[in-house]
Chains A and B, each alone.
Chain A
C-alpha cells in the first residue's frame, strides 16, 4: 500500500502494457475519441473553473477591482502595499506561519507515535483507530470550532477542570497570547488521518527485517532507528507536504473562534481569513487576488523546497 500512498505520476500514466502490439489506427482513433468524450466534463471544468480563473486572478491581482466597477490596472501596487503598508497582512502571514510551523510537526509526531503504538496486532486496534480517526472527520466543521470556542472560553471546560485544582485560567480564546494556541491544539487533535497513512506504511515493512535485527541483538530503540524510521521516511515526507499545504489554507477554525475578526489583536488572523475579509467583506477583489497569488507562490515554493530537501533525508530503498 505504501506504493499507492506516494503520488507517482509517471507510473500512473504509463500503466501496464496493452495486450497485442498491433492495433489498427482506426481503433486507436476511436479510442482517443472515446477518451475525449469521457474527459469532456473534466476538460470543461479545467478550462472554465480552473485555468480561466487562475489567469483571471493573476490579471486581477494587478488591478483595483471591486466587482461594481471596471478593473483598473495598477501594476504591482497591490503586491507592494501588502509588504510595505499593510501591517495586518504581515501579521496574518506571521500568524499562519507560526500555526503551520508549530502545528504540523506536532500533529505528525502524534500521528507517528500513535501509529507505532497501534502497530503489530494490538487487540482492539480497529476500535482505537476509529476513535483516533474521528476528530479528523469532524475537525474542520463549524460545529467543532464552536465547541472549541467554548472549551477554551473564559468559563469553558478547560477552566472548569483547572478550577477543580484551584487554578484560575484565563479566557484562552480571548487572550492574544493563547488564542492561536487553541487553534494549534485543534489542528493537532486531527492527527488521525496522517496516523492511518502511517499505519498503512508500517504494515509495508517486512517483519523479517525486525526478526533479523533481533537475532543480531538490536533492541527496540535500535530497531526503530535503523529500520522503522528510514523505511517510513517517504510516508513522513508525503504527510508533511500534504499537511503543510492543507494547514496554510485553514479558514473555518479561525473564522469561528474569532467570530470573523481574527482577533483578539489579530492573533488568530489566518491568511485565508484576511483574504476573505478583503475580498468578500470589503470587495477589494484585486487585493484579495494578489493575496491569493502570494499564497499560491508560498505553497508552491514550500512544496518545491520540501522536494529538494527530501533528497537528503527521505530514503527510497530498493524494497519498494
Chain B
C-alpha cells in the first residue's frame, strides 16, 4: 500500500526539488559566470556592476592581458602543457607497471610493499619537499622541469597505482591465464591484454594527472623561480602581484584562459572523472 503512495509523493516533490537545485546551482556558478562576464567588460565598470550579463563584448582585456607579462601568455601555457603532458606519460607508464605487479603477480613482500604504497597516499608532500629540494639542487635540477616530471616516471603518485590495481583486479584472470598457456611472457600479457582492457582506468588517471599538474602551484612555485620557466599558475600569480590591482579585467581574462583546458577536459571526460572518484574516493 505504502509503496504505491511513494511515486505520487515523489512527483509532488519533484518541482520544488528542481527549483531548489537550479537555484543552488546558479549560486554556485555565479562567481564563475561573473568572472567570464567581467573579463569582457572594461576594467573600470567591473565592480560597479554585479550582473553577469555583459552590456558589451570587449575583448581588449584578452588582448592586453596576453601581452602584459614579459612573455606572451601562450609561453606560460606551453610551459604548463609540457610539464602536464610529460606527467601524464610518466604516471600512465610507471603506475600501470607497478599496478600490474601488485594485481597479478606473486612475489615475496607483496603485502608489505602494498601496505607501504597505501601509506604513502597519506603522506603530506611537505615532509618530502625540503629534502627533495636539497637533492634536486645538488643534482642541479632547480629551474628545470625535471623535479616536476621525473617523480612521475617513478610512480610517485601512488594514488594512481591504487586506482589501477583496483581496476585490474576486476578484470577476468582467465584472459591472462590463457595467454600464459599460449606462451606469453609477463611483458606481453601486460602490454597486449591488461593495458588494452584498462583504458577506462588509464583515461581516469590521465585526466586527473593533467588537471592536478595543470593546477599545481606549490611545487612549481618552489622549483621554477626563473621567469623563463614559469608555468601558467606561477605567471598568473606574478601578474596579480605586479599589476593585478589595476588590471583586474586582464587578470580575469588570463585566469579564464588558464582554466579553459580543465573545462575542456571536464566536458569531454566527466564520465571518467566521476567514475574515478566514485571507485577510489579520491579527487
Q: Is the CB of B114 within 8 A of A13?
A: yes
B79 within 8 A of partner (CB) = no
A167 within 8 A of partner (CB) = no
Q: Is the CB of A160 within 8 A of B106?
A: no
Nearest CB of chain A from residue B226's CB, rounded to whole Å: 15
| In the complex, chain A residues whose CB is within 8 Å of the CB of B156 | 45, 49-50
Q: Is the CB of B130 within 8 A of A49?
A: no
Q: Is the CB of B153 within 8 A of A31?
A: no
Q: Which residues 242-269 of B sit at the A interface, judged by CB distance below 8 A?
A: 244, 248, 251-252, 255-256, 258-259, 262, 266
Nearest CB of chain A from residue B279's CB, rounded to whole Å: 5
Q: Is the CB of A42 within 8 A of B161?
A: yes
Nearest CB of chain B from residue A162's CB, rounded to whole Å: 9
Nearest CB of chain A from residue B160's CB, rounded to whole Å: 11
B127's partner among A4, A5, A57, A131 (CB-CB below 8 A) is A57
A265 within 8 A of partner (CB) = no
Q: Is the CB of A53 within 8 A of B2?
A: no
Complex: A147 Cα to B33 Cα, angstroms: 11
A26 within 8 A of partner (CB) = no
| In the complex, chain B residues whose CB is within 8 Å of the CB of A259 | 240-241
Complex: A297 Cα to B29 Cα, angstroms: 37
A292's partner among B126, B218, B248 (CB-CB below 8 A) is B126
Which residue of chain B lies nearest to A211 when distances are taken between CB atoms in the complex?
Answer: B3
Nearest CB of chain A from residue B242's CB, rounded to whole Å: 11
Residue tally, chain B, CB below 8 Å to A = 110
Which residue of chain A lies nearest to B48 when distances are taken between CB atoms in the complex?
Answer: A160
| In the complex, chain A residues whose CB is within 8 Å of the CB of B137 | 67
Complex: A303 Cα to B123 Cα, angstroms: 12
| In the complex, chain A residues whose CB is within 8 Å of the CB of B1 | 215
A19 within 8 A of partner (CB) = yes
Q: Is the CB of A60 within 8 A of B131?
A: yes
B173's partner among A16, A279, A303 (CB-CB below 8 A) is A16
Nearest CB of chain A from residue B25's CB, rounded to whole Å: 5
Nearest CB of chain B from residue A83's CB, rounded to whole Å: 18
Complex: A181 Cα to B1 Cα, angstroms: 49
B196 within 8 A of partner (CB) = no
Q: Is the CB of B252 within 8 A of A147?
A: yes
Complex: A41 Cα to B108 Cα, angstroms: 17
Q: Is the CB of A289 within 8 A of B130?
A: yes
Mark the stretch among B54-62, B63-71, B81-89, B270-278 that contacts chain A.
B270-278
Q: A5-B278, A39-B97, A45-B151 are in contact. Are A15 and B169 (CB under 8 A)?
A: yes
Complex: A275 Cα to B31 Cα, angstroms: 30
Which residue of chain B lies nearest to A210 when distances are taken between CB atoms in the complex?
Answer: B6
Q: Is the CB of A292 within 8 A of B129?
A: yes
B34 within 8 A of partner (CB) = yes
Q: Is the CB of B98 within 8 A of A296?
A: no
Nearest CB of chain B from residue A295's CB, rounded to whole Å: 6
Q: Is the CB of A132 within 8 A of B279?
A: no
| In the complex, chain B residues whose CB is within 8 Å of the CB of A205 | none
A308 within 8 A of partner (CB) = no
CB-defined interface of B1-37 with A at 8 Å, one 1/0 digit per residue?
A: 1110110001000100110110011001111101100
Complex: A34 Cα to B107 Cα, angstroms: 9
| In the complex, chain A residues whose CB is within 8 Å of the CB of B14 | 122-123
Q: Is the CB of A54 within 8 A of B127?
A: yes
| In the complex, chain B residues whose CB is within 8 Å of the CB of A200 | 278-279
Q: Is the CB of A136 within 8 A of B186?
A: no
A183 within 8 A of partner (CB) = no
Q: Is the CB of A117 within 8 A of B98?
A: no
A217 within 8 A of partner (CB) = yes
Q: A1-B279, A42-B154, A141-B262 are in contact. Are A150 and B100 (CB under 8 A)?
A: no
Q: A4-B280, A41-B98, A275-B126 are in contact. Are A146 and B236 (CB under 8 A)?
A: yes
Q: Which residues 118-143 of B sit at the A interface, judged by CB distance below 8 A?
A: 118, 120, 122-135, 137
Q: Is the CB of A141 within 8 A of B134?
A: no
B203 within 8 A of partner (CB) = no
Nearest CB of chain B from residue A228's CB, rounded to whole Å: 15
Complex: A163 Cα to B270 Cα, angstroms: 38
| In the complex, chain B residues whose CB is within 8 Å of the CB of A260 | 241
Nearest CB of chain B from residue A250's CB, rounded to whole Å: 10
Which residue of chain B lies nearest to A189 when distances are taken between CB atoms in the complex?
Answer: B28
Nearest CB of chain A from residue B89's CB, rounded to whole Å: 13
B228 within 8 A of partner (CB) = no
| In the complex, chain A residues whose CB is within 8 Å of the CB of B25 | 128, 131-132
Complex: A260 Cα to B251 Cα, angstroms: 17
Interface centre among A1, A28, A32, A189 (most CB of B within 10 A): A32
Q: Is the CB of A157 within 8 A of B3?
A: no
| In the complex, chain B residues whose CB is within 8 Å of the CB of A252 | 215, 217-218, 233
Complex: A67 Cα to B218 Cα, angstroms: 19
Q: Beyond A46-B120, A117-B17, A153-B47, list 17 extra A-B contacts (CB 8 Å).
A: A5-B278, A12-B169, A16-B169, A19-B177, A35-B110, A39-B113, A45-B155, A49-B156, A50-B156, A52-B135, A54-B128, A146-B255, A151-B31, A196-B274, A252-B217, A259-B240, A300-B122
Those 7 A-B pairs whose CB atoms lie nearest each other, nearest first: A45-B154, A143-B255, A160-B50, A56-B131, A193-B283, A53-B131, A200-B278
Can you give 24 A-B contacts (C-beta < 8 A)? A1-B279, A12-B169, A16-B169, A28-B106, A35-B101, A38-B98, A39-B97, A41-B155, A42-B97, A45-B156, A54-B128, A138-B259, A141-B258, A146-B240, A147-B252, A150-B252, A157-B34, A200-B279, A211-B3, A215-B3, A252-B218, A260-B241, A279-B129, A280-B221
